[in-house]
Structure 1
Amino acid sequence: MKKILFILLFLTFISCKKEDVQLPKSNKTVLKDIQDHSPVYMFFKTKEKDTIIEVNRRNTISSTNWIYNIDKRLPLKLVIPEVMKLQEKKKNSEHKKEGAIDVFSYADSIGKNLAFLPFTDVSYLFDKDFSKFYIIDNSKMYLQFQNFSINFNKENKITVEGNDIEREEFVEFIKDYVPFVSQGRTALLHLNFEVNLTYEEYIQNKVMLNEVLSDSIAFSPIEFIYDTNKLPECGCKL
């Protein structure tokens, strides 16, 4: 009943505003229910030939869980800077509540339900950073881990430590290969996404990545949203 009420409220807001957020679709549900929430909306707009983003957070309450409803057509280069601003605002709010979470919303095309992807603990490095170089520059932070750089490039193809991995084989590859190489150490996966990927591609990749988590495989809380043209020349495959 609560889920139906949420969807009705969501549709009512869109109807009143005469605007639409096309939610991304994926094939699995990470989180199905969320209580005590406030909405953030990011709309897809065009101005002449350019894509622009319009953010509406007027109904957000800092003490609640925030649901980010973001149009799937928007590129990460527009979405992530706005997400970072909102993360900072909530973090610095006097009314923030211990335990409140932030989630991205999407549609589970198999389960036919609204689904949520938590990202409360994620922090973003935007534009000029890539995990491979960041790990070298901050090596003392990562000595206890077996580190792996996973990259989703501008064509949405996947590499692990610079090696091409077919999407259909990715989950099993990580589950089999990473623990074998790590030899008892916790494997820390560092995620990189090219800025021109769409928000839908980002969500689909993150939902897929969720399948590889285990007691021995974890994600770095830092995600790298990078512009290929702004990375240092290294003569290596990312």
Structure 2
Amino acid sequence: MMKYISLIVLFLIMSCGNKEDIVLPKADRTIVSNIEDHSPIYIFFRTNEKDTLAEVNRKNSIITTNWIFNIDKRLPLRIVIPEVMKLQDKKRKEKAHKNEKAENYYSYADSIGKNMAFIPFTKVYYKLEKPIGISIFFNKKNEILVDHVIVKQDELDNYLKKMADNSNRYQLCFDEEMSFDSYVKNIIFLHSIKLQTTENFIF
């Protein structure tokens, strides 16, 4: 297990003789604490003048294992999610060495337990478009809008229950300019109120 350092986790790997780091997202609870038979995928934060770029390193990934996505928290969703989608698609289309039990996880740091933690997202399909139906939209200002009505995070669960609707109809949407750090925090929050869908819309 990676060492937890001052509430910020730095992954140090060697690439062409250079030391590189990824600053992981942080949250206050653990969804999954341990994963066996895994291989890493790294998505680095890069800049080129005024542009922000994502650099993917998957040279140590093995298709039959659980994949752990170590993604720099500073990357916006509009840049990182297309890279995640490509890797998901590659694994889903694998035929010769497919392992039906192999999962995909995002890694993050639990700032309370001071340990590495993971979120499964194998069954999530990302769509880079606006959905049809009742949307729960998380914007880059950390606001939650349910069909354009702002709802406080600690009131969302009760608000949805009062709507007396089927949660399967809700479409989870996220601002494409949101940081990966904020996205992970929001997903962990949704886990806490048991609100999950198989589709995430990014726009």
Q: Give the one of 195, 200, 207 matched to 2:181.
A: 200
**Residue 107 of structure 1 aligns to which amino acid in structure 2?**
A
Shift of 1:179: 3.1
Partner of 1:142: none
Shift of 1:4: 5.5
Shift of 1:11: 4.8
Gaps of at least 5 residues in structure 1 are 136-147, 227-238
Q: Give the one of 191, 197, 203 matched to 1:220.
A: 197
| Counterparts in 2 of 1:200 and 1:163: CA distance versus 1, 3 Å | same
Tell whether the 8 Å contact from 1:190 to 1:219 is kept in structure 2 after alignment: no
- Equivalenced residues, count: 196
Shift of 1:155: 1.9
TM-score norm. by structure 2 comes to 0.88
Alignment partner of 1:45 is 2:46: yes
Alignment partner of 1:13 is 2:13: yes
Alignment partner of 1:210 is 2:191: yes
Residues 62-211 of structure 1: matches in 2 within 5 Å?
62-93=63-94, 94-126=96-128, 129-131=129-131, 134-135=132-133, 148-167=134-153, 169-170=154-155, 173-174=156-157, 176-182=158-164, 185=166, 187-211=168-192
Tell whether the 8 Å contact from 1:178 to 1:187 is kept in structure 2 after alignment: no
Structure whose residues are more often helix by fraction:
1
| Counterparts in 2 of 1:11 and 1:204: CA distance versus 1, 3 Å | closer
Gaps of at least 5 residues in structure 2 are none
| Counterparts in 2 of 1:49 and 1:180: CA distance versus 1, 3 Å | closer
Give identity over the alignment, percent: 44
Partner of 1:54: 55
- Computed over aligned residues only, the root mean square deviation of the Cα atoms, in angstroms, reads 2.1
CA–CA separation in structure 1 for the residues paired with 2:25 and 2:182: 8
TM-score norm. by structure 1 comes to 0.76
Moved more, 11-20 or 150-159: 11-20
**Residue 125 of structure 2 aligns to which amino acid in structure 1?**
S
**Residue 225 of structure 1 aligns to which amino acid in structure 2?**
I
CA–CA separation in structure 1 for the residues paired with 2:60 and 2:97: 15
SS in 1 for 2:186: helix
Shift of 1:189: 3.1
